[in-house]
Amino acid sequence: MIITEFKKKPKHLTALVFEGGDVLIDDEVLILSGLKVGDDVSESQLETLKYKSEFTRAKSKALWLLDRRDYPKKEMIGKLKPDFDYDAACEAVEFLCESGLIDDRRFAENYASDLVQFKSLSKKGVQFELTKKGIDRELAAEVADSLEIDAKQAIIQLIERKYRGCVGDEKGMRRMYAALVRKGYNYDDIRSAINEYTEEEL
């Protein structure tokens, strides 16, 4: 296939124009390829260019996302998958993992700390949220287990802060129990915390 023209496109893309069609390639990849108008490009060369272009653009998008917040590996792949070739997206993410820019353990530890500080989740609740983010179950369990959480005291603080008006009201108590269970606390800890809290209030 003979390149008949280069057409500049938005978003750092260039169209390689052939008789009967064109192919969009990332500008950086095209420059490094050294191609020029009149060159004969084989199907395999074109496929390689397209893949390199997808990889480069997926990596750039991932870096743009990481500039805004941290991501675990699986979530980042999910972000890239709708816009890029899946294999190229996976390779781009793997490259960033090897570079240390994506690190599931670092993400899990930081996210777990935030879940405890801002959402008052239990260890079980933290583990569940980490797995939802795509963290491996074994790593999620390890990180959650390493947290220093006094379940009973955490529940008492939650009652004081959010559910004080529920104590002593049947409907309110049911709502409070349900909310605490959703945060991952077990019934024994909830019951013990409520008993201690009500005794202190009397």
Render pLDDT for 50-106 as a digit per residue (tens, 0 to 9): 999 999 999 999 999 999 999 999 999 999 999 999 999 999 999 999 999 999 999
Answering whether pTM is above 0.85, one says no
CB 74 within 8 A of CB 133: yes
Q: Is the pLDDT of residue 132 over 60?
A: yes
CA distance linking residue 13 with residue 82, whole number of Å: 18
pLDDT of residue 13: 92
Longest dimension (CA), the chain: 89
Which of the four pLDDT bands, split at 50, 70 and 90, describes residue 130? very high
Helix (H) or strand (E) holding 14: strand 13-18
CB 158 within 8 A of CB 125: no
Which of the four pLDDT bands, split at 50, 70 and 90, describes residue 202? very low
Average pLDDT along the chain: 92
Q: State what percent of residues in the chain have pLDDT above 90.
A: 74
Concatenating the DSSP letter of every residue in 131-153 gives HHTT--HHHHHHHHHTS---HHH
- Compute the average pLDDT of residues 19-34: 90
Domain boundaries, the chain: 5-98, 104-145, 151-201
Is 150 buried (19+), middle (13-18) or exposed (0-12) by CB count in 10 A? exposed
- Under CATH, what is the fold of the domain 5-98? Arc Repressor Mutant, subunit A (1.10.10)
Burial 62-78 (b: 16+ CB within 10 A, else e): beeeeeeeebbbebbbe
Q: Is the pLDDT of residue 12 over 70?
A: yes
pLDDT digits (tens, 9 = 90+) for 138-153: 999 999 999 998 999 9
